[in-house]
Structure 1
Amino acid sequence: MPLPRRMRDPGLALVVLVVVTVWTLVSARHAEEPVSRTVLGWALILVGCAALCLRRRLPVAVAVVTLLACALYYPLSAQDGPLLIAFALALYTAAAEGRFAAAVALAAVTLLAVGLGEVGHQPGRRQIDGTSLAMMAGWLISLVAVGRAQRNRVAYLYEVEQRALAAEREQEARARQSATEERLRIARELHDILGHSISLINVQSGAALHRLGKKPAPELALATAHEALRAVRDTSKEALRELRATLGVLRRADEAAPMAPVSGLASLPELVERAASTGLDICTQVEGTPVPLPPPLDLAAYRIVQESLTNVTRHAGARSALIALEWRADELRLRIEDDGGGAPEDAPPGSGICGMAERARAFGGELTARNVPGGFRVEARLPLTTPAGPAGPVAPADPADPTAPTAPTTRPAEGDSA
C-alpha cells in the first residue's frame, strides 16, 4: 500500500537515516576518535538526513544544508559514514523540482571544494586521486542530468493530462450544446405546430359559441355547429400529422421513421384555407418563378408564414392579411402584413417572433417584424444557397428531418403565441 503523499519525504528521510546509521556503526568498529567528535558526527548525520523531510518544499535549502553537513562531517569524523547519500538525493531533488541552475552551481561548488581540499595534501596522503575526482564529477553531473530529465518527464505527462482533460471537457461541452440545440429545435417545432393549430381551434370554436349564444333557429344552429366541428377536425388532423412528423426525430434508431411528408410552401393553400376559416380575409401574391427548395429551407419558409398567421389570428384583431412571396435568382423574400392594431411599442420579443428570426438566420437570412401604418408587417429574406459555416452547411443532411437549424437572435416583435 503506497504511503500518503505528505508522508513520502519523511519516510524516505527515515530510510536514508537507517542506511547511514547502520553503515556508520559498521565502519565505527575500525575507527577511534574522541567522544566529542563522535557526538558531532552523529549530530551532523541527524541534521543531514532530517533535512530531507523538506526536500520538495525547499529543494535548494535542503541541498545546501546537506552539503554543509557533509563538508563538516567528513573532515571531522573518523567514522566516514555514507552521509553523502543525503546530499546526492537533495541534489537530484533540486534538479527534478526545476532548480536546475542551483543544482549545477551546488555540484560545481562541491567538485571545486573537494579538488581544492585535496590540492593542499601531500601526494601520499590524499584521500581522492585524479581518477576518483573525475568519477565524482561524472557522478554529480549524472545526478543533475537525471533530475532534469525527470522534471521534463513530469512536465510532459502533466501537459498530456491537461490536453486530455481539455479535450474531454470540449467534447462534453459540444455534446451539451448539441443536445441543447436539438431541444430548442424540437421546442420551436412544437410551438409552431401546436400554437398555430390551437389558436385556430380556439378562434373557430369561440366564433361558433358566439353565434350559438344568440340562440338562432335550430337549422342555423346545427349548421353553425357542424361547420365549427368540421373546422376543428381538419385543423386538429393537420396538427397531429405534423406533430407525428416532428416527434419522429425522437424515435429510436431501430424503429421505422414516419413516412408523412414534411410541411413546405406546397402546403401553403391548405394553411391559408385553415386560417381563413376563422373569418380572416387572406390574399396571396407570388412574384417570380418558384423553384424547388431543400426540405429544411422549405420547412423554414412555411413555418415563418404559419407563425405569422398565428399571431394575426390571436393578437392582431385584423380583418385581412396579405402573404407575398417574391422569388429572386438567389433568394426568396416573404412578407406577411395585416391591417390590425399592431404591437405595443414596448412589447418584449415573444418566442414566436424569435423562433421565426432564428429560422431565417440559420440559413443566412434575416427577419424583421415591426409596426407599419395601418397594421403590422413581417419580412423575411431566405438565401436559396445555404452558406456553410465552420461546422459545414447548416442545413441537416437528412431531408426527412422536420426540424431546422437554429441560431440565436433578438428582434422587436408583437405579442405572439406562447
Structure 2
Amino acid sequence: MSTAEPTVGARVRRVALPAVLMVVTIAGSFGASRNAHDRRPADWIMVVLLVIGAGALYWLRSRPVAVMWVTVVSTLVYMLREYPYGPVIFSFVIAVFTVIRTGHRLAGWLGLVALYAGHVLGRLVLNINQQGVYQVLLVGTCFVVLGFLAELFRGHRERVAAANKTKREAELRRAGEERLRIAQELHDVVAHHISLINVQASTALHLVDRQPEQAAPALAAIKDASKEALVELRSIVGVLRQSDEAAPRQPVAGLDGLDQLISRTSMAGLEVHAIIRGEPRPLPTGLDRAAFRIIQESLTNVVRHAKAKEATVRIQYGEESLVVQVDDDGTALVGPPKDGNGIVGMRERATALGGTLTTTRTPTGSLRVTATLPF
C-alpha cells in the first residue's frame, strides 16, 4: 500500500497540468471569440487543437522535445486558421521553456524559430490579412525574451546541480578521509597491543616450566594489554555506530597517555626513557593524537623488529612545531630503512597535518624516527 501511494500521487501531478490547461485554454478561447468578430468563430476543430496542445503536456517529462513539436504544430494551425487570440500560446510556452531549461537548447530555439517563421510565412502563402511591421517585430521580440528567460533558468539549474555535485564529492572525500583515519587508528592500536601480548606470551611460555613463579608478571601484562586493546577498539568502533545506543568511550589518545604507554612497553622488556624539552602546553586534538600514535607505532616497531633493550622518546615543544624523535639501541643494520605499513601510516599522519616524518640510521645502525608537526 505504501509503495502505491507515491505512484498515484505522481500520476495525479502529471495529469493536473494538462487538465487545468485544457480548461483554461478552451474557456479563454471561447471567451475571446465573443468580441472577436473579425476572427473565425469557435468550432470543434479549435477545441481539438487546444486539447492536443494541452494534452501533450502529459508526456512533457518523458519526451519534452516531441511534446514541444506537437505544441508548435497545434499552435501554428490554430493561428493560421485565424481563431480568436487567447491562451492558446500557453501550451507552447510551457513546452519550449521546459525543453530549453532541461538542456535541449538547440531544439528549443528551433521550436521558437519554427513557430515564428511558420506564422509569418504561412500568412503570406495563405494570403491572410497581414500584420504590421510593428506587430511582427513585437511577436519576434516576445519569442526571443521567452528563449532567454528559459536560458537563465537553465543556467541556474546547472549551477545548482554543479554545487550539489561538489557538495556530494566533498562529503565523499571527507568520509574517505575519516575511514582512512579510523583504519590508521585500528592498525596502530592492534599492532601495538598484539606486539606486547606476543612478547609477553613468549616470555611466559619460556618461564612457565622452569620458573613458574616468574611467569605471573608476564601473564598479568598480557591481561592488561588485551584489556587496554579491547577498550581502545571499542572506543574506535563506537565512532562507526549509527544507533542511539551509547558506545563505550575513553578520552582521545594523546600525549597525556605517554606515561601509561611507556609503562606498558616496559613490561614487554623494553626500557623506555622520555625526554621532554620546552614548555609543555595543550595541543590541538589532531596533533596530540598524531604525536601519540607516532610514538606508539615507533615503540611497537622497536619491540617487534629491533631486538633492542632501550628506547628513548624525545619531545621538543618549539615555537612553531612539535618535534618527536624515537631512538633505540637495537641491532646495528646497514642500508636505508625500509618503509613498512607502520612507517607509511606514521608518515601519512604527519603529512595530513602539514608536517614531515623521516626515518634514518643512527651512527650505531639503529633506527631513528623523527616527526615534525607544525602547530
TM-score by length of 1: 0.60
Counterpart of 1:209?
A: 205
Could you report, residue by residue, the CA deviation over 1:142-193 in whole angstroms, capped at 9, with x for unpaired residues? 1121011111101101011101101111121122122112212211111111
Among 1, 6, 9, the residue aligned to 2:69: 9
Counterpart of 1:50?
A: none
Counterpart of 1:165?
A: 161
Q: Aligned partners of 1:142 and 1:22: how far apart in 2?
A: 18
Q: Aligned partners of 2:305 and 2:70: how far apart in 1?
A: 78
What are the within-5 Å matches in structure 2 for residues 276-291 of structure 1?
A: 276-291=266-281
Counterpart of 2:228?
A: 238
Change (3 A) 1:141 1:380: same
Q: Aligned partners of 1:346 and 1:275: how far apart in 2?
A: 23
Structure with max Cα Rg? 1
Counterpart of 1:42?
A: none
Percent identity for Structure 1 against Structure 2: 36
Counterpart of 1:375?
A: 366
Could you report, residue by residue, the CA deviation over 1:226-260 in whole angstroms, capped at 9, with x for unpaired residues? 23211101111222232233334334585546563
What are the within-5 Å matches in structure 2 for residues 9-408 of structure 1?
A: 9=69, 12-13=72-73, 16-17=76-77, 20=80, 57=110, 71=124, 73=125, 80-81=127-128, 136-211=132-207, 216=210, 220=211, 222-251=212-241, 254-256=244-246, 258=248, 260-338=250-328, 339-341=330-332, 345=336, 347=338, 349-373=339-363, 374-383=365-374, 386=375
Q: What is the Cα deviation at residue 262 of structure 1?
A: 3.3
* 1:223 maps to amino acid: E
Change (3 A) 1:196 1:357: same
TM-score by length of 2: 0.66
Q: Aligned partners of 1:335 and 1:55: how far apart in 2?
A: 68
Structure with greater contact order relative to length (CA < 8 Å, sep ≥ 6): 1
- Which residues of structure 2 form unaligned runs of 5+? 1-54, 84-106
Change (3 A) 1:200 1:13: same
Q: What is the Cα deviation at residue 334 of structure 1?
A: 1.2
Q: What is the Cα deviation at residue 378 of structure 1?
A: 0.6
Q: Aligned partners of 2:115 and 2:246: how far apart in 1?
A: 72
- Which residues of structure 1 form unaligned runs of 5+? 24-53, 75-79, 85-134, 387-418
Equivalent position SS for 1:250: coil
* 1:159 maps to amino acid: G
Q: Aligned partners of 1:343 and 1:178: how far apart in 2?
A: 41
